A and B are shown apart, each in its own frame.
Chain A
Amino acid sequence: MTDNAIHAQGLTKRFGALVAVNSVNLDVPRACVYGFLGPNGSGKSTTIRMLCGLLTPSEGKIDVLGLRIPEQAEALKRRIGYMTQKFSLFDDLSVRQNLEFLATVQGLSRHETRTRVDELLQRYRLDDRQQQLAGTMSGGQKQRLALAGAIVHKPELLFLDEPTSAVDPESRRDFWEKLFELADAGTTILVSTHYMDEAERCHRLAILDTGNLVADGTPKELTDTLRGRTFVIRANSPRQAKATLDERPDVLSVAQIGNELRVLMREDKVTVESLRSAMSDVDASMDIESVAPNLEDVFVVATRKLARPEEQAA
């Protein structure tokens, strides 16, 4: 028995010629909220499905809760919860009927089913809607129901595949509260997202890009590696300043946010002063400030790192 809930090595999945997941190594500690950050099509769902035993990996070893996957996938299914990307409960059953069905299928007794469903309805504020058909509820309500359905049997490990992609910001915040509640109670949670603010909330996260795991660690570890490489420039003519910066070989990316430019350097050799003198012929009055890197910067660095060799090859 390891400390890790999930341990995967060299995990690869090919669909024909397409490599959806490429040799991913992954360690997810117990009772932690672990994030998968990546754009659409980066292999997040495929990885999650392989870890649940729904897809057979083309290569690699997976160990989840001490079980070899996919060989022991059936034994794993009693111990995990899985919330699919698309709402997958039954639209034409009521809220209560959905939960009762899942509880029975997960092997809860008649009595356990009743008390557990009542408890979940209350905890996820669905008790006044228990007779409503699931298909007629709002996005946030469906999402709470789906989460309740995924944890009806109190799983040790919970997989959530982009759980908040169809939900308003308040429901998202509310949803993350529920996730931390579960993690505090000892549940390990693996959640995929393409929102930076959600990724920042995770205890640890992995960044996936076109099937490759390009960075992983705690959010702080990840941002610390970029210390001294991020600047904010306030200029009178930001478009012109951006054009000049884009030509510099040591600039990795420039993003305009309102009137500000967020500049990310390839290395931490540049200071505010050297940057100011270099830019003085464009706009002498510009205001340059060194700022703390955020996850978006990490994401840009991680995904560019991979793209560069391809550019050279082309």
Chain B
Amino acid sequence: MNLRRLWAIMVKELRQLRRDRVTLAMIMGMPILQLLLFGYAINLNLRNLPAAVVDQAQTAGSRAAVQDMLASGVIEVAATAQSPQQLVDLLREGRISVGIAVPPDFERRKLDGREAIQVMVDGSDNVVQSAAAQLAQYPLNQPDNFHTLAPTPISVVSFYNPERRSPVNIVPGLIGVILTMTMVLFTAVAIVRETERGNMELLITTPVSRTELMIGKVLPYAAIGLVQTTVVLLLGVWLFRVPIRGSLWDVYLASGLLILANLSLGLLISTRARSQFQAMQMTFFVFLPSILLSGFMFPYAGMPLPAQWISEALPLTHFMRLIRGIMLRGADLGDLWHDAVALLAFIAVMLTLAIRLFHKRLD
């Protein structure tokens, strides 16, 4: 490997990138936009969720309990219903997010210490989910506090989405999502574009080696990936007070591993794709499972076994575990060495395949 040649390729790549305003805007705009979008959901102050109440008990106690919940300001009566079945219909139609049903035997259930009120929640909306959890905290014993309080006086039934997630989980994961989206695409497209424009035919008749070409193309994007990581971290900490409990070094090391993993995957794609459009399609073929199966959206433990196998093969899964461990649980890379090694193995395999499959030939 000749360092001057490597440098020339990197400089060339950066110069071309500087003239490519759209890509440049994407590099900076995408992390900021995504963070603000996700962050808005995180920051949403839950107020005035549309609700409907069915009180089949009609006792002083039941009315007081309902009034207590309304007084919290979290929910607001938006529709009327006569039966619990109507509540379900209203939920499905999307006219209410929360339905409160008080059964006719409310008083007896309370005395027996059983669940006395049912809150139905539109689980398709994560934010509403956490609101339901808040409602469940309301004590039912105020009007007649001589009764012993039932341990779980209200049962929360969550429709459509059985899992609950802490909003703080999103920002660390978002670093991984953004890096997966941009890094794979940028490298894949960067090489295929040269083939499409005919530049590759010129490059392969020069003494540039495969390794020089691949590394020279990848390193500028690795630097860009670290810039993106920094943007998300800064905004996450400033705007949303996301904690970084582990060391910042470990955060960057983990991000660096993910960046290299994604770049080598992008290189591999570029050796197979014939056009930029194909490269983009292949990228999304990898991107969607990454988002869905990495644990960013749904917990790994809840997936069926085949999905878990796929999940294990995705670099984003391992990064998710690393970054949540480091940022939220204060772990260090040593504690999570399994996932760091998995990422290293992924890089080694992808890079070897990419360099082997890339030929300085046209056939």
Contact = CB atoms under 8 A, between A and B. Distances in A.
Given A77-B206, A93-B16, A107 B198 contact: no
A54 B4 contact: no
Contacts of A87: 198
B8 interface: yes
B207 A77 contact: yes
B199 interface: yes
Contacts of A255: none
A69 to B, nearest CB: 11
B201 interface: yes
A97 interface: yes
Given A77-B206, A93-B16, A106-B206, A88 B4 contact: no
B308 to A, nearest CB: 43
A104 B4 contact: yes
A104 B199 contact: no
Given A56-B363, A107-B207, A92 B20 contact: yes
B108 interface: no
Given A55-B363, A87-B198, A104 B206 contact: no
Interface of B: 2, 4-5, 7-9, 11-12, 15-16, 19-20, 197-199, 201-208, 360-363
Nearest to B11: A101
A97 B206 CA distance: 16
A220 interface: no
Given A82-B202, A86-B198, A105 B8 contact: yes
A55 B208 contact: no
Given A54-B205, A92-B20, 11 more contacts: A49-B362, A54-B204, A77-B205, A92-B16, A92-B19, A104-B4, A105-B9, A105-B203, A107-B2, A107-B207, A133-B19
User: Which secondary structure characterizes the binding site on chain A?
Assistant: loop
Contacts of B363: 55-56
A88 B199 contact: yes
Contact of A105 (B197, B198, B207): B207
15 contacts: A54-B204, A56-B361, A77-B206, A86-B198, A88-B201, A89-B199, A90-B16, A91-B197, A92-B15, A97-B15, A101-B11, A104-B5, A105-B203, A105-B207, A149-B202
B207 A106 contact: yes
B12 A101 contact: yes
A102 interface: yes
Contacts of A290: none
A52 to B, nearest CB: 6
B8 A54 contact: no
A105 B205 contact: no
Interface in A54-77: 54-56, 70, 73-74, 77
Contacts of B16: 90, 92-93
B262 to A, nearest CB: 24
Given A88-B198, A93-B15, A55 B361 contact: yes
